[in-house]
């Protein structure tokens, strides 16, 4: 199937008129200077080909205006840049002065198109080139228009702070609660959150859909981050912004190995969300019983440790406190071929040491080392290179080689002739990527 030519555009809605296209971007209607995109150097960009050749295949809002599911801030920025270019005030479009989400969208819309802006003559354009364009820009083309169109079937909108926020059914498909706000309750204005926060979570959902499979989508941030987190959780988006280290099936297997067949799992702490300071951790875990620490050491290695106790801080903030309790240590992945593997911790080593907010946990010689020590020091949190660190991602981990299960094939790192790492490190001291604590 061939794409419609520019000449086929209608005279209303999203049509070309004097080099300007009326477009609706995320609920914001813009008179977009699309004629500038016909210039050499711009006509081969994906946005030029999309608007000048595929306008009839794009979604339209209720007024018949072409709809682009993107952050309006990018197209407002691009409008200004194209206007400057049109008047000769600048020679090119640069993004050195831009902040997110502008670079994200610019990378999509200003990527080089594999096909030309003009309607091809017979055999002048290969099917592979056409398919390549659809692979790139099909996210903005109606799902029913062509094979590979992934833009959805309809534009959905709500009113927030007196203005419209719009997206597509395709963007909302993976976010049930947010989808309900646009569908079941779309006629009722949003009054419980600010437009800025609502925009942020909707655009996060957009970027999830527009990003390549498996890509890490950075969560939004703002001055009032706590309120943004609250709104994100209320609309069911927080879990996607800050995904758990372990997939649900892996977590379930781990809990079963702990004898927790019907656990009430509650996430108390995520370094990706709450930061990695010791103060942030104790604020969220003190007084909670049954703590599962999950540590993503690097891209391949993850460990977990369960402490069956209720942690408290010492009365003296400069001291430390010992909790003798059952402790289970696991290599979740990376250290053994077989996957989740339990390391048996000697009974007399099953304990947790915690430091006061102004103190440190010491070793057997009384030397301050870290903020938390678990399983006889097999895992330390807040263990800096030159002493205790408030950053819990600075860790220290080891096990005796004789503690490695004989019936499992160890493929991890050896630290010394007597010690091995479950974290894929060649030394005991290293910085992990992420950390989470659950109450189970």
Q: pLDDT (tens digit, 9 = 90+) per residue, 213-238? A: 989 999 999 999 999 999 999 999 99
How many whole angstroms separate alpha carbon 90 and alpha carbon 84? 6
User: CB atoms < 10 A from the CB of 91, how many?
Assistant: 9
b/e burial code for range 234-263 (CB count within 10 A of at least 16 → b) = bbbbbebbbebbbeeebbeebbeebebeeb
Domain locations along the chain: 21-140, 155-241, 248-439
CA-CA distances (angstroms) from residue 320 to 216, 356, 360, 364, 374?
Answer: 38, 6, 6, 13, 13
Assess contact for 412 and 421: CB atoms under 8 A. Answer: yes
Q: For domain 21-140, give the fold.
A: Potassium Channel Kv1.1; Chain A (3.30.710)
Length of the chain: 440
**Can the peptide bond before residue 409 be classed as cis, meaning omega within 30 degrees of 0?**
no
21-140 and 155-241 agree in CATH topology: yes
Neighbours of 36 (CB within 10 A): 21
Q: How far is CA 302 from CA 113, 233, 237, 307, 351, in A?
A: 41, 26, 25, 17, 21
d(CA 57, CA 138): 10
Cα separation values, 64 from 22, 129, 155, 256, Å: 10, 30, 11, 55
CB neighbours of residue 106 within 10 Å: 20
Tell me the whole-structure pTM to 2 decimals.
0.84
Confidence at residue 73, expressed as pLDDT on a 0 to 100 scale: 95
Q: What span, in angstroms and rounded, lies between the C-alpha atoms of 63 and 110?
A: 27
Summarize pLDDT for 348-368 with one digit per residue, the tens.
Answer: 999 999 999 999 999 989 999
Flag residues of the chain having pLDDT under 70.
1-18, 96-98, 122-123
Give the rounded distance of the alpha carbon of 221 from its chain centre.
Answer: 12
195-220 per-residue burial string, b: 16 or more CB within 10 A, e: under 16: ebbbbbbbbbbbbbbbeeeeeebebb
Pairing of strands 429-431, 155-160: unpaired
Give the HSE-up count for residue 198: Cα atoms under 13 Å, Cβ half-sphere. 24
Distance (Å, rounded) from C-alpha 224 to C-alpha 234? 16
Residue 244 CA to its chain's centroid (Å): 10
Strand-pair partners of 160: 163, 190
Cα–Cα separations (whole angstroms), residue 305 to 268, 328, 357, 438: 15, 5, 22, 11
Query: Can you identify the CATH homologous superfamily of domain 155-241?
Result: Potassium Channel Kv1.1; Chain A (3.30.710.10)
* Nearest one of 379, 362, 388, 387 to 437, comparing CA atoms: 379
């Amino acid at each position: 199937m061939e794409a419609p030519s520019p000449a086929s555009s209608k005279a209303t809605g999203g049509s070309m008129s004097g080099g300007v296209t009326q477009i609706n971007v995320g609920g914001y209607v813009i008179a977009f200077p699309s004629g500038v995109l016909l210039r050499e150097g711009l006509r081969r960009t994906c946005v030029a080909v999309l608007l000048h050749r595929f306008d009839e295949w794009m979604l339209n809002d209720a007024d018949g205006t072409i709809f682009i599911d993107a952050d309006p801030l990018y197209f407002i920025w691009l409008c200004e840049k194209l206007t400057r270019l049109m008047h000769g005030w600048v020679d090119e479009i640069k993004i050195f002065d831009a902040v997110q989400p502008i670079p994200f969208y610019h990378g999509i819309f200003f990527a080089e198109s594999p096909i030309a802006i003009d309607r091809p003559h017979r055999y002048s354009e290969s099917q592979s080139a056409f398919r390549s364009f659809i692979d790139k820009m099909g996210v903005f083309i109606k799902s029913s228009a062509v094979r590979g169109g992934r833009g959805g079937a309809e534009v959905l909108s709500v009113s927030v702070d007196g203005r419209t926020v719009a997206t597509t059914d395709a963007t909302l498909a993976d976010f049930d609660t947010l989808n309900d706000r646009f569908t079941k309750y779309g006629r009722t204005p949003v009054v419980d959150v600010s437009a800025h926060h609502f925009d942020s979570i909707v655009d996060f959902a957009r970027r999830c859909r527009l990003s390549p499979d498996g890509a890490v989508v950075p969560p939004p941030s703002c001055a009032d981050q706590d309120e943004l987190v609250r709104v994100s959780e209320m609309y069911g988006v927080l879990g996607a912004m800050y995904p758990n280290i372990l997939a649900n099936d892996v977590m379930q297997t781990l809990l079963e190995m702990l004898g927790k067949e019907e656990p009430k799992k509650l996430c108390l702490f995520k370094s990706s969300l709450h930061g990695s300071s010791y103060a942030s951790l104790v604020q969220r875990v003190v007084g909670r019983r049954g703590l599962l620490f999950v540590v993503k050491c690097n891209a391949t290695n993850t460990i977990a440790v369960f402490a069956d106790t209720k942690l408290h801080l010492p009365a003296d903030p400069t001291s430390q406190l010992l909790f003798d309790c059952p402790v289970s240590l696991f290599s979740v992945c990376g250290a053994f071929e077989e996957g989740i593997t339990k390391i048996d911790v000697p009974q007399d080593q099953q304990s947790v040491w915690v430091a006061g907010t102004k103190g440190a946990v010491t070793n057997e010689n009384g030397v301050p080392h870290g903020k938390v020590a678990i399983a006889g020091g097999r895992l330390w949190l807040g263990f800096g290179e030159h002493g205790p660190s408030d950053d819990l991602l600075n860790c220290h981990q080891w096990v005796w080689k004789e503690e490695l299960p004989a019936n499992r094939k160890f493929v991890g790192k050896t630290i010394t002739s007597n010690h091995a790492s479950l974290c894929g490190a060649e030394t005991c001291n290293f910085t992990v990527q992420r950390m989470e604590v659950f109450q189970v």
